[in-house]
Homo-oligomer: A and B are copies of this chain.
């Protein structure tokens, strides 16, 4: 099929975009999904500097690369999260400020609104990201946690994100939440609950990424079929469950890459994601946007990995059938 294959630049932010773009183009990618960190896509500069987005676009075009989505996971995370020191490390100083939690959250909210504006200037209509969650950390209900406690988290989410979504609508940009543990939605039931909380706002949908579902034993295809019209963007990322009776699916507070973990991210094609049914589900959903490789594998050289991932995506991204097969045997007259 002709879906573009892009690389999400988040895990390559240590490289200047110019360097990365050259590599990626050389490997044969169609485009990039730019991260709003490193020098890849800087929201403040895009808004302040008239030539910024043009120069960025020209850099990409000089390598024959497209860009139809940008991503702002780090700032979005700070919207609903209880803020602690770890958030400081993922925010620019201008947003962290004095670190007062509510202040951080409000500056982050403004940044998300600005991101939509910058996206529009840059000519992309999808911003992917995280939302954070005030109730994620209460995922096990001890001390006893009532549904009222949980509802409060969803209300908080709605209160903070509805105004942001309103700004998105205004700019004609949509937000794709990457459904993911630590976020307001991390599986099918919480995605439904989040949508209901935000009153099915038309700008709010999903950056579908199967790697966050499989280790929860959630079937990615079921997610796509359930939210077919809310799939705004797609990440190609893989995960392997490696349970041996000693490892825990909760991963034992061990680092990614530690073989004692119960699951870990791996290069696409080397994990438990079943790609063929997933492509069929995207075809059914009518999704025609990019297949964006978010490459993360603590045990593999990333340049080897990005290239094998591209090859995988090319081999799995087939077009749906042009016509039903019921005509197969009936063509004789």
Chain A interface residues (CB < 8 Å from chain B): 1, 10-11, 13-14, 37-38, 73-74, 77, 81, 86-87, 89-93, 135, 137-147, 149-150, 180-182, 186-190, 193, 215-219, 221-222, 225, 242-257, 259-260, 262, 266, 270, 276-277, 280-281, 283-284, 296-302, 304-305, 308, 315, 318-322, 324-333
Contact = CB atoms under 8 A, between A and B. Distances in A.
A328 B276 contact: no
A257 B147 CA distance: 13
A144 B301 contact: no
Given A245-B222, A318-B300, A257 B327 contact: no
Given A217-B249, A248-B186, A250-B186, A299 B322 contact: no
A181 B276 contact: no
Contacts of A318: 300-301, 304-305, 308
A322 B299 CA distance: 9
B11 A328 contact: yes
A185 B89 CA distance: 27
Nearest to A180: B142
Residue of A149, A216, A284 with highest tally of chain B CB at under 10 A: A216
Contact of A252 (B187, B251, B328): B187
Contacts of A225: 259
A163 to B, nearest CB: 23
22 contacts: A13-B331, A13-B332, A87-B143, A137-B137, A139-B251, A140-B181, A140-B251, A142-B180, A147-B255, A186-B250, A189-B252, A189-B254, A222-B245, A255-B324, A256-B325, A257-B324, A270-B276, A280-B299, A296-B328, A301-B319, A301-B321, A304-B318
Given A217-B247, A218-B245, A259-B281, A86 B252 contact: no
Contacts of A89: 143-144, 330
Contacts of A218: 245-248
Contact of A257 (B188, B305, B325): B325
Contacts of A254: 189
B321 A262 contact: no
B300 A135 contact: no
Contacts of A328: 10-11, 13, 144, 296
A10 B144 CA distance: 13
Nearest to A316: B270
A251 B309 CA distance: 31
A182 B277 CA distance: 28
Contacts of A256: 141, 324-326
Contacts of A244: 219, 222, 244-245
Given A86-B144, A139-B253, A193-B253, 6 more contacts: A10-B328, A86-B149, A90-B332, A142-B180, A215-B249, A296-B328
Contacts of A139: 250-251, 253
Given A38-B332, A245-B244, A332-B37, A255 B86 contact: no
B219 A262 contact: no
